[in-house]
């Protein structure tokens, strides 16, 4: 969703989760640089109450902490 044209109010009002903003690079980018496109917001809607547990069954270790295999 283009943030310069749409604030995303309707998505937030119905409990969609904003997960971030992409880097602004195009699909065919070869230079690794932003191409001057307007920033977008990415929203997701969980289809199951247990979405987080299904996608991430183990808690993530904080940065710099080694994760021991279980």
| pLDDT tens digits along 14-69 | 888 888 887 766 666 666 665 666 778 888 888 888 887 887 777 667 777 665 66
Residue 70 maps to a domain? no
Residue 18 maps to a domain? yes
Average pLDDT over residues 7-12: 82
Q: Are strands 17-20 and 42-44 parallel, antiparallel or unpaired?
A: antiparallel
Residue 29 maps to a domain? yes
Residue 27 maps to a domain? yes
Dihedral sign for Cα atoms in the order 5, 7, 13, 17: positive
pTM of the model: 0.53
Based on the structure, what is the number of domains in the chain?
1
pLDDT at 14: 86
Residue 30 maps to a domain? yes
Residue 32 maps to a domain? yes
User: Whole domain around residue 31: which residue ranges?
Assistant: 9-55
- Please choose, from the candidates 39, 43, 35, 32, the residue with its C-alpha nearest in 3D space to the C-alpha of residue 8: 43
């Amino acid at each position: 969703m283009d943030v310069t044209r749409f604030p995303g109010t309707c998505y937030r009002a119905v409990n969609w989760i904003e997960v971030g903003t992409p880097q602004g690079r195009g699909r065919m980018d070869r230079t690794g640089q932003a191409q001057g496109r307007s920033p977008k917001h990415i929203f997701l809607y969980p289809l199951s109450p247990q979405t987080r547990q299904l996608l991430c069954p183990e808690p993530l270790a904080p940065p710099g902490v080694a994760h021991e295999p279980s």
